[in-house]
């Protein structure tokens, strides 16, 4: 008998009986939109300052815990997930090469948060030097890095630190050589959970431009979370002496700004996004002249800009090129009418690029997976850089000469940092490589297409055991996102192994609204076209069933943020297609989402109730408004963080109240010490994964098979 046949198997068929939901009074409020009156029974749950709301939330948490803590096989599931996510192999990201020094963000379980190291050798991680470690600053694990930026000469590090998942970050300055913090140079409120944050050092490392919202007194109280501006801070001077640079009148209320300095320190570029919908303006600073010039308007289609080493600003443009083109703008005559197209629009969607003295490296999307190609600065194609099959390339960073560093990861091979040797046309895997307790040597990735309601073909990546029988009896987890022009790329998730161990499959849908095929694909799932996203996802679910990967009662769905909205729409539009739902930090009341600060940033993507056509589209799919009594909904777990600055937890509260009033098995889990996901400590990620996985397995009636012993770590 094989070892697999001897595995201990435990079976169960349904969720345990849960306590009844807490009483949830209906206090109707009637709103009128474009002549249509709509009743909101649970408006009162929006007010987190109301003690009654907090008591209700606590009662919901207690009810959820009463269920989650007694789920079948929970201890075994917790042990497996803890082993996978606590595997003591580092994960490297956020590469920066400045002044001959290489800086990297490193996540090293069992530490709770990533920290910054200086890499001494690409092939010897023992020579790393820890520079800034939030785990040492705050042993509770509640402090995290929002972003960091070294000075051009590599002498200093600017690091935004925030607490409790709030993403409200203060900028701290550190001297690289000594590791000491420059205590008098802390700049408050540089990062926010709505507009993010950015800095750009000046050429000699004596100061930097940074983003911040207005200070109290500069604008009315209701505007203090908006109107991001650019200021300049000189090292060694009080923050009160900082100098305003740009944004008070030039930027929109929902500005989100990215700053970059040219390698010679002579110019700074500010790429300003109007909310999250993908419209940008570009401003250029001539440092010597101390003057800013508007280089591009919203209509010009510039999405990203970087300085080359050739006296030019290079930009990704989608003007008359929905899949993108790369243009070169000479800095001696910085106007768009002088821009030269270097890489024209092609079959793939351009998403990023990096410049070296003689080469241009371009990252392109191919419907989910990506590729990395290199060109001469004239635009002549030199060829593709070797990458993993069905994989994602990210974080391309200029290194020595024309070499670059980049990360590459697939669904079944962990993330590693690679060096491309331009002289020898060779790819070298560095020692900055993750290993995993999850062995996927018995698995494969299958790329298929589902056909959506209107005939659109929707890519689908399916990770499954190579010898899986397609009999319609396998448990499956389907996830997706579909929004904000964000492509969903291959990533290594050790928790996929949990599904494969139970004879299941894991599927990732590349939906319209994302950036997999360019701006046309994005716009086909935005604003009044948002229903296409849900149609695409439901088509992917049907595809999995029709191809006998699974059946409806064995299919779970999970998603977060915009993907949480997707979960709400999917379960209200097609409740019979799923056996379980897990929604993280999602929007659900689409008529009220823009009443909160980050909602204003999002209405460039979703639309606004102020516009009649957009209101009708929002109303047509708003999950909260389409819960029906008498409908049998699948068991659903809603997870949110009390400190979420991006999607207010009110959405999860109201959605759960509505579902419970309709008799649905819906549960609400609110974490007191986390937010939207950024900054969540390792222990919090493990706890969420255990609750979600155990819930889905119980709801689907999945037999639990004890997995084989974990392999020993292998050298990278």
Residues marked as catalytic: 561, 676
Rounded Cα–Cα distance for residues 477 and 602 (Å): 28
- DSSP E strands, 138-288: 143-150, 156-163, 169-175, 187-191, 199-201, 207-212, 229-234, 243-246, 255-261, 267-274, 280-286
CB 574 within 8 A of CB 478: no
For residue 463, give the nearest of 481, 452, 479 by alpha carbon. 479
Calculated CA dihedral for residues 119, 122, 127, 129, nearest 10 degrees: 10
Residue carrying the six token digits 């994964």: 689
Assigned token pair, 352: 């990023």
CB 679 within 8 A of CB 167: yes
CB 274 within 8 A of CB 211: no
CB 554 within 8 A of CB 577: no
Query: How distant is the alpha carbon of residue 458 from its chain centre?
Result: 21
Rounded Cα–Cα distance for residues 584 and 680 (Å): 13
Peptide bond into 240 cis (omega under 30): no
Q: What are phi and psi of 549, to 5 degrees?
A: -70, -30
Rounded Cα–Cα distance for residues 164 and 142 (Å): 5
Rounded Cα–Cα distance for residues 633 and 651 (Å): 18
Rounded Cα–Cα distance for residues 696 and 683 (Å): 20
Rounded Cα–Cα distance for residues 598 and 649 (Å): 12
CB 666 within 8 A of CB 70: no
CB 540 within 8 A of CB 678: no
User: In the 3-class helix/strand/coil scheme, how is 69-83 assigned residue by residue?
Assistant: CCCCCHHHHHHHHHH
Q: What sign has the CA pseudo-torsion 27, 30, 31, 37?
A: positive
| 3-state SS class at 681 | coil
Peptide bond into 658 cis (omega under 30): no
Q: What are phi and psi of 63, to 5 degrees?
A: -65, -45
Rounded Cα–Cα distance for residues 166 and 191 (Å): 10
Give the end-to-end CA distance of the chain in Å, rounded to a whole number.
34
For residue 417, give the nearest of 75, 631, 212, 128 by alpha carbon. 128
Rounded Cα–Cα distance for residues 292 and 289 (Å): 9
């Amino acid at each position: 008998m094989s070892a697999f046949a001897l595995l201990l198997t435990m079976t169960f068929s349904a969720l345990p009986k849960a306590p009844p939901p807490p009483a949830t009074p209906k206090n109707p409020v009637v709103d009128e939109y474009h002549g249509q009156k709509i009743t909101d029974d649970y408006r009162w749950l929006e007010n987190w300052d109301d003690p009654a709301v907090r008591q209700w939330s606590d009662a919901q948490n207690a009810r959820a815990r009463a269920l989650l803590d007694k789920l079948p096989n929970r201890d075994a599931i917790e042990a497996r997930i803890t082993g996978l996510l606590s595997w003591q192999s580092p994960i490297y990201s956020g590469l920066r090469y400045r002044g001959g020094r290489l800086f990297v963000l490193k996540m090293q379980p069992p530490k709770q948060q990533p920290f910054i190291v200086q890499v001494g050798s690409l092939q010897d991680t023992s020579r790393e030097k820890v520079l800034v470690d939030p785990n040492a600053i705050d042993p509770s694990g509640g402090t995290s890095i929002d972003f960091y930026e070294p000075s051009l000469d590599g002498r200093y590090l600017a690091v935004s630190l925030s607490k409790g998942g709030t993403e409200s970050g203060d900028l701290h300055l550190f001297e690289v050589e000594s590791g000491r913090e420059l205590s008098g140079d802390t700049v408050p409120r540089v990062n926010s959970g709505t507009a993010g944050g950015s800095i750009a050092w000046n050429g000699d490392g004596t100061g930097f431009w940074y983003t911040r919202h207005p200070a109290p007194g500069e604008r009315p109280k209701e505007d203090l979370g908006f109107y991001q501006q650019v200021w300049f801070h000189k090292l060694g001077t009080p923050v009160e002496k900082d100098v305003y640079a740009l944004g008070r009148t030039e930027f929109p209320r929902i500005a989100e700004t990215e700053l970059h300095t040219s390698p010679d320190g002579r110019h700074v570029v500010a790429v300003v996004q109007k909310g999250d919908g993908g419209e940008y303006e570009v401003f250029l600073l001539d440092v010597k002249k101390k003057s800013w010039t508007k280089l591009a308007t919203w209509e010009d289609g510039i999405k990203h800009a970087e300085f080359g080493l050739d006296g030019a600003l290079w930009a990704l443009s989608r003007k008359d090129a929905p899949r993108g083109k790369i243009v070169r703008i000479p800095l001696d005559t910085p106007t768009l009418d002088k821009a030269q197209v270097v890489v024209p629009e092609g079959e793939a969607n351009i998403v990023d690029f990096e410049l070296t003295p003689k080469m241009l490296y371009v990252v392109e999307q191919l419907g989910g997976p990506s590729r990395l190609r290199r060109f001469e600065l004239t635009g002549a194609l030199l060829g593709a850089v070797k990458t993993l099959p069905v994989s994602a390339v990210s974080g391309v960073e200029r290194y020595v000469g024309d070499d670059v560093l980049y990360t590459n990861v697939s669904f079944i091979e962990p993330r590693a940092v690679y060096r491309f040797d331009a002289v020898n046309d060779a790819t070298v895997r560095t020692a900055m490589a993750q290993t995993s307790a999850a062995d996927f040597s018995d698995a494969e990735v299958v790329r298929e297409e589902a056909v959506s309601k209107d005939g659109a073909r929707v890519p689908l990546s399916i990770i499954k055991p190579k010898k899986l029988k397609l009999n319609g009896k396998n448990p499956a987890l389907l996830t997706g996102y579909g929004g904000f022009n964000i492509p969903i790329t291959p990533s290594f998730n050790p928790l996929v192994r949990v599904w494969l161990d139970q004879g299941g499959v894991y599927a990732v849908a590349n939906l319209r609204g994302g950036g997999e095929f360019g701006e046309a694909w994005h716009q086909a799932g935005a604003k009044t076209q948002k229903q296409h996203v849900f149609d695409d996802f439901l088509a992917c679910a049907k595809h999995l069933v029709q191809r006998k990967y699974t059946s409806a009662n064995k299919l779970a769905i999970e998603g977060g943020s915009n993907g949480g909205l997707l979960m709400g729409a999917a379960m209200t539009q097609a409740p019979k297609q799923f056996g379980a739902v897990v929604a993280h930090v999602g929007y659900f009341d689409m008529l009220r989402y823009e009443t909160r600060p980050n909602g204003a940033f999002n209405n460039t993507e979703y639309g606004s109730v102020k516009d009649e056509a957009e209101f009708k589209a929002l109303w047509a799919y708003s999950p909260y408004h389409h819960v029906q009594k008498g409908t049998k909904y699948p068991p659903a777990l809603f997870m949110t963080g009390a400190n979420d600055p991006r999607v207010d937890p009110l959405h999860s509260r109201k959605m759960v109240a509505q579902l419970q009033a309709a008799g649905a098995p819906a549960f609400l889990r609110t974490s007191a010490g986390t937010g939207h996901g950024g900054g969540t400590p390792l222990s919090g990620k493990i706890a969420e994964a255990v609750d979600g996985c155990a819930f889905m397995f119980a709801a689907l009636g999945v037999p639990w098979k004890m997995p084989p012993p974990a392999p020993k770590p292998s050298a990278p």
